[in-house]
Amino acid sequence: MKERFRQDFDGRYTYLQDLLHCASVLDPRFKHLAFLDDNDTKDMIFMKLTAEVVKMDEKSLHSKHLESPDE
């Protein structure tokens, strides 16, 4: 029974773990993710966060371009 619950939770909440890791990177106390032993996981978290920042920057530039008329 415990194993079924664990499998169910593992499948449902994997996104939550990624979200918590990204939040930890943004917190100056935990930004180095010293609590994680797997360097591949650390790299993946930093890559996801970097991609999100780039995406947000592109959206910002696009919206600024739409607000200012071409002269």
- pLDDT tens digits for 1-25? 888 888 887 777 777 888 888 899 9
Q: Estimate the share of the chain in helix, then strand, then coil, as percent rounded to the nearest 5.
A: 75, 0, 25
- Position 11 scores a pLDDT of 73
Q: Residue 46 in contact with residue 25, Cβ under 8 Å?
A: yes
Task: Record the pTM.
Answer: 0.63
Round to whole Å and give the CA distance between 25 and 28: 7
Q: Residue 40 in contact with residue 10, Cβ under 8 Å?
A: no
Q: What is the mean pLDDT of the chain?
A: 84
